[in-house]
Amino acid sequence: MKEYGFIKVGATSPRLYLANPLKNAKELINQIKKANEQDTAIIVTPELSITGYTCGDLFFQERLLTDAKLALQEILEETKTLDIISILGMPIRHDNQLLNCAIVIHQGKILGIVPKTYIPNYQEFYEARWFNSSNNLQTQEITLLNQTVPISKNLIFQDTKEEKYTFAVEICEDLWTVNPPSNNHALNGATIIFNLSSSNELIGKHEYRKSIIQTQSAKTISAYIYTSSGIMESTSDILFGGTTLIYEDGTLLKENNRFELESTLTTADIDVDKLEHDRIKNKSFMKNLEITNDKIIKVNIKNKLKELNRTYDEYPFVPGNIKKRDKRCEEILNVQATALARRLIHLNNSKCVIGISGGLDSTLAFLVIIDAYKKLNKSTKDIIAITMPGFGTTDRTYQNAINLVREYGATLKEISIKEATTVHMKDIGLKENDRSVAYENAQARERTQILMDVANKEEGFVIGTGDLSELALGWCTYNGDHMSMYAVNASIPKTLVRYLVAWFKDKETGRKKEILQDILATPISPELLPPTESGKILQKTESAIGPYVLHDFFLYHFLRLGESPKKIYMLACLTFKDSFSKEEIKKWLKVFITRFFTQQFKRNCMPDGIKVGSVSLSPRGDLRMPSDADLEAWLKDLEEQ
């Protein structure tokens, strides 16, 4: 998994023996060994994990400080044959002061020591009674257990072979400040941040804590691994819950159950390549004039991850949680409808002209127009919805198109394309039994001509119905359904279209709800080839170009995350192992790559269309790509699997 940019990290909240470093050492050793057995490369422990955070004035006792060093020595000895890097919390005496420190160790060696910078001294915290800030350090080097090592708040640790595996450390309150040290660490290349904490539990604090960590992870485009002291700290006045959290670029990957009596260990696989991709794509990330240089410590990070232990959504554009999905659908439709309303205002409330097929895409675009008209208090009679039966139109889609328009009170026009297309095909010498792409595209272009001409006649403008997935694959007729005057679905992937229509359906009742339900149940088809003898749809899009659930997965990982074909293939095989064979996945991924590269010329002249999500193909916005780029390297990358 290292070749794909993954690394396993861990956070433990061990059972504590307050003010007993030697007993704590044994529990820490157990957790480190357990994490190592799980192929964890780096593990972090809570703040002052060797002594406990709530020792109070015992921090002034020589016995506690001596035992802390003895405990560290034992941990170094017992873990020196392990590959794992461990980050421990303990008090360190240096420069005539006591410091609250993180000790980074590996194979019996102390790699570096990071003291806490911001010392809380308010409300229930009075840490400044015992500890000084890293800002008060006089020297940047310390000898501990006969090892001379750097001690500084400005340390980052980097793999000797692959620089992308770079991590840094901050301690508890450091995160809660206006400018956490991790800001600077991230700008100096740290893709992974570890936080040793002792954060007590109060009503509402856990969610607030999570929001801060989530924001910091997103802001620094980093993985943020957090662990806090557990319930065996002193409960004289406050309780610690033993929280462990692992975030990646603002997304929570793993968390533990709080308030556990025994030790907890939380691990997750971090996608460092994703973090690097997002950083280079975000051009504001490095525009900071106050970057201070961190000292880089080289370390051999043993990345032994063999099997990925994280899951990916089959539908990356669709939230799995129903409540989140409903909220997302409402927001998307609001963005679409508001953008269209704005364009209508600019055009002096022109009429909207739309082709209605009885399929999902045109239904969604039609519903967006309905919402836009509601915002503008316009009569739906100014929506001119045209159904244009052709050689492949089935009675099911025809009836659904007509009924949909009538139920919402729009103006319905029916203009058959059969006669005009027949004449046109005769004019260009296309044989009657020809079922080539010319036969199909002639129908699509005839429909577009009708829509454009009606729009001219009615002083209106044409609303496009094509979606993001079709644009990615080029599954549209150039200057046919590829063209419109405003494309409201241009950044809506096919897998999301269905959920948006379903969301709209759930808000309706009676006949409207029945019609939308049947549209949702209709197979996806351009209906450009004649139906079966029984009148059913013969031409099914997914049989020709592959399942949209796969293509949308490919699109998200290819464009949003910049992942290589072989990595996308690996993730798809993992995600769809119960739905598609590896051979099927590779077959359709080849189709995706080929079509994505060869169909760019269509996207380079696509009409205006509103962006609603993180992936857009507009040549004026998110995708500037040559139409003649060579795809050989991408196909070769896939073949190396």
Active site residues: 47, 116, 172
- Rounded Cα distance, 486 and 494, in Å: 18
Give, as one character, the DSSP assignment of residue 15: P
Neighbours of 238 (CB within 10 A): 16
Contacting residues for 345 by C-beta, under 8 A, at least 6 apart: 376
Q: Are 5 and 191 in contact (CB under 8 A)?
A: no
Measured at the CA of 78, the angle between CA 74 and CA 164, to 5 degrees, comes to 110
Measured CA to CA in angstroms, residue 370 lies from 122, 401, 409, 612, 619 at distances of: 56, 15, 10, 18, 28
| Tokens standing for residue 40 | 């964890």
- Rounded Cα distance, 240 and 251, in Å: 24
* 258: three-class secondary structure by DSSP: coil
Q: Which residue has the tokens 């009596």?
A: 261
Residue 264: which of 484, 72, 494, 34 has the closest Cα? Answer: 34
Strands (E), 256-408: 264-271, 295-299, 351-355, 383-387
**Residue 165 C-alpha from the chain's centroid:** 20
- Rounded Cα distance, 199 and 205, in Å: 9
Q: Are 421 and 390 in contact (CB under 8 A)?
A: yes
What phi and psi, each to the nearest 5 degrees, are found at residue 494?
A: -55, -40
- Rounded Cα distance, 568 and 558, in Å: 7
- Rounded Cα distance, 88 and 48, in Å: 7
| Tokens standing for residue 527 | 């209906």
- Rounded Cα distance, 38 and 363, in Å: 50
Over its C-alpha atoms, the chain yields an Rg (Å, rounded) of 31
Measured CA to CA in angstroms, residue 20 lies from 71, 77, 336 at distances of: 9, 18, 61
**Residue 256 C-alpha from the chain's centroid:** 21
Q: What is the pairing mode between strands 383-387 and 166-171?
A: unpaired
Q: What is the 3-state secondary structure (H, E, C) of 126-188?
A: CHHHCCECHHHCCCCEEEECCEEEEECCCEEEEECCCCCCEEEEEEHHHHHCCCCHHHHHHHC
Q: Which residue has the tokens 């995708």?
A: 623
Q: Are 527 and 398 in contact (CB under 8 A)?
A: no
- Rounded Cα distance, 119 and 140, in Å: 19
Measured CA to CA in angstroms, residue 298 lies from 84, 162, 167, 235, 455 at distances of: 15, 10, 11, 40, 66
Q: Which residue has the tokens 């009503």?
A: 203
| Tokens standing for residue 54 | 């709530």
